[in-house]
Structure 1
Amino acid sequence: MDREMTPSEKTEYKRHFPNLDVDRARVTDDATDVYNCIAWTVDVDWDWLWPGSTINEFDVFYQGYGFVRQGSGPVAVWALNGDYNQMTHGCISGPGHGPRWESKCGAGLRIQHGLTELEGAIYGQVIAYYAKSRDSRVLDKAAMLQDEVRKSKEVGAMLLDEYQKKALDGLKEAIPKDTVEAFENRFSAWKETWKSGHRILLSNTSYVRHSNEFVELAGMGKEIMPLLIEKLVEPDNFRALHLYDALQTDKFLKVLPGSSEEVILKGERFRAEEVVKLFLSNT
């Protein structure tokens, strides 16, 4: 795909990115929450990859994919207020990405733009660059990871085995029907907020905690955990991990962002799958 922005897209993106030349910007993919900016910088368009909020986590992530931090390079990463602990975004340039820079804007459009045109309150500014490593050991390890990541694309959505289904069904049966109904209504209302306004442009999904809908769901307590686990089985509900993390008091049943190299490298849907397996294996 290579097209101009529509009039409504120009209005919306100019509002969020005042420096963006919307008449020159090119749209290279429509809005989707299947993948995000960081995923696209490593040629992944089937998963949502977010290393964490710190530059150290970004270093681990990009080294895993064969990149090292340098003074310049084809991958630029962004942070708010020049703070290495407030990472926000990544964009890429070079062959296959057009003559300028290319960004997948969270769950929004993928666009080509001038490097500084996305500067502002949402992404901040470019804070570092990454380039391909020349270390054969790093590249060999990255090749193995990329093969593994590609296989995850072929496997597709998570499927529960018979034991897991039986365990989950048993837990759900113990929940009163009015609680189930209230959960479903509140979860739907919360999900509506996930991509509202500028939130659609964000790859760090921790913002989903900052709503009244989240507070209402969290207020229902741990009784809703089986219902939440059922939601996490669905690939598009990985943002609900933030509710799980808020409700789960047993640290051994958590898989937190940045908790391991594997979690950093494989992203939010992998983390959701690990949480589901961990929870159901301990029921």
Structure 2
Amino acid sequence: MTGLPLPTESCQSFPNLNNKNHSITSPASDNYNCIAWAFEVNDKWMWPGDLDSYWPAGVAGRDELETITQLYIDSGYEKRASGEREEGYKKVAIFVNRDGPTHAALQLDSGHWTSKLGREEDIQHGTLQALEGGPYGQAVIFLRKPRA
């Protein structure tokens, strides 16, 4: 990866993230979060049921994970078995830990992934595994949509 890596203290939260498998792609911002970033929105904080966040009317599910998944399905995504790159498609991966959904990442044309780390920077990472095993848990839901 090219570009600047996250500071060491940020990497410590993610045991599989190191200075060789990611780079910062934009500065820290609290204007948007990972769900919005993977939805290709960078001016809204999006989380279902949070009164301080934006959430589209009518997008709902039984729980947070289903509701977040439904956001992408309603915009043309369909569930897939894995996050493997598929020519002609963009992909989203939703991460879950024992408490529920935690993160979403968007796959780039290159096959690498882009993530917004909370209120911190956006990064590009080569694999989903780079963010697994820490506070985000595991990538468990994969969705795809034809590239425009």
TM-score after normalising by structure 2: 0.74
8 Å contact kept, 1:13–1:20: no
Q: Of 134, 139, 143, which aligns to 1:126?
A: 139
Q: Of 102, 108, 114, which aligns to 1:88?
A: 102
Q: Of 48, 53, 58, which aligns to 2:68?
A: 58
105-114 or 48-57, larger mean C-alpha shift: 48-57
Provide the rounded CA distance (Å) in 2 between the counterparts of 1:92 and 1:64. Answer: 16
Q: Of 17, 34, 37, which aligns to 2:34?
A: 37
- 1:103 alignment counterpart: 115
Alignment of 1:1-80 (within 5 A): 3-5=3-5, 9-51=6-48, 54-73=64-83, 74-80=91-97
- 2:58 alignment counterpart: none
Matching residue's letter, 1:30:
P
Aligned to 1:13, the other structure's residue is in SS state helix
8 Å contact kept, 2:21–2:130: no
- The structure whose RCO (Cα within 8 Å, separation 6+) is larger is 2
Q: CA RMSD in A?
A: 2.0
Deviating runs (4+, > 6 A) in structure 1?
none
Q: How many equivalent residue pairs? A: 124
C-alpha distance after superposition, 1:139-187 (max 9, x if no partner):
xxxxxxxxxxxxxxxxxxxxxxxxxxxxxxxxxxxxxxxxxxxxxxxxx
Matching residue's letter, 2:100:
Q
- 2:54 alignment counterpart: none
The percent of aligned pairs where both chains have the same amino acid is: 35
TM-score after normalising by structure 1: 0.41
CA displacement at 1:126 relative to structure 2? 0.6
CA displacement at 1:24 relative to structure 2? 3.3
Matching residue's letter, 1:4:
L
The answer to which structure has the higher strand fraction is 2
8 Å contact kept, 1:68–1:130: yes
Return 5+ residue gaps in structure 1 as ranges: 134-283
Provide the rounded CA distance (Å) in 2 between the counterparts of 1:88 and 1:105. Answer: 10
CA displacement at 1:72 relative to structure 2? 3.0
Matching residue's letter, 1:116:
Q
Provide the rounded CA distance (Å) in 2 between the counterparts of 1:119 and 1:88. Answer: 11
Return 5+ residue gaps in structure 2 as ranges: 50-62, 84-90
Larger gyration radius, structure 1 or structure 2 = 1
Give the 3 Å change call, closer, same or farther, for CA 124–27 of structure 1 in structure 2.
same
8 Å contact kept, 1:102–1:111: yes
